[in-house]
Amino acid sequence: KVLIDVPRSDLAEELAQSQTKVQVLQDTLQQVLDRREEERQSRQLLELYLEALKNEDSILSKAAESDTVPRAEMDVVDTGTSRTGPSAQTTLSDQILAALKEKPAPELCLDSQDLELVLKEDTEALASALQWDKQKAEAVQQACDQELSKRLQQVQALHSLRSTSKGKKTLP
């Protein structure tokens, strides 16, 4: 770092080299420092991602332990409304419905696939199945949408870092 900050003419004189060679040296040193900083930032992001995965896994395992209904069972909830009106059925599993109803932040307890199922669900059917008003069901769907978007951004950032780091390896 010190060699980069030294004026080129002083460094050239001290090393008995031309200013052009000193400039190449300083540029190379700067590239090395930049690469180290990028690697440090990549490691930090990866550590955050791994920590988030651990937290998600622990939340999911706690949710799985508290629910006795197997995930594979998908129930259709019929609320008794007319079939000619909007759909009043939901194909969400009992576990997803329980998480939505009982957890303070259900979007954090559900995996990405479950978040997608909640988003695809008809809002009125969801509200009916949970015995909520439509606004509360919409709010939960929005929270699920935001959480899913956040997770996708994290994955995209990791892919970007991976492709950036692969590109750096090919440099001399």
Tell me phi and psi for residue 89, to 5 degrees.
-115, 150
Q: Are 87 and 124 in contact (CB under 8 A)?
A: yes
Q: Is the pLDDT of residue 166 over 80?
A: no
Q: Looking at the domain 94-167, which fold is it?
A: Dna Fragmentation Factor Alpha Subunit; Chain: A; (1.10.1490)
Tell me phi and psi for residue 64, to 5 degrees.
-65, -35
* Token output for 30: 């700067």
CA distances from 159 to 6, 70, 115, 152, 153 (A): 37, 33, 22, 11, 10
User: In this predicted model, what pLDDT tens digit does every residue of 98-151 receive, in sequence order?
Assistant: 888 888 888 888 888 888 888 898 999 888 888 899 898 899 899 999 988 988
- Sequence ranges of the domains in the chain: 8-64, 94-167
The answer, as to whether pTM is greater than 0.85, is: no
CA gap 63, 29 in Å, rounded = 51
User: In this predicted model, what pLDDT tens digit does every residue of 34-80 receive, in sequence order?
Assistant: 899 889 998 888 888 888 888 877 777 776 666 544 544 444 555 44
CA gap 140, 125 in Å, rounded = 13
pLDDT of the residue at 142: 92
CA gap 157, 101 in Å, rounded = 32
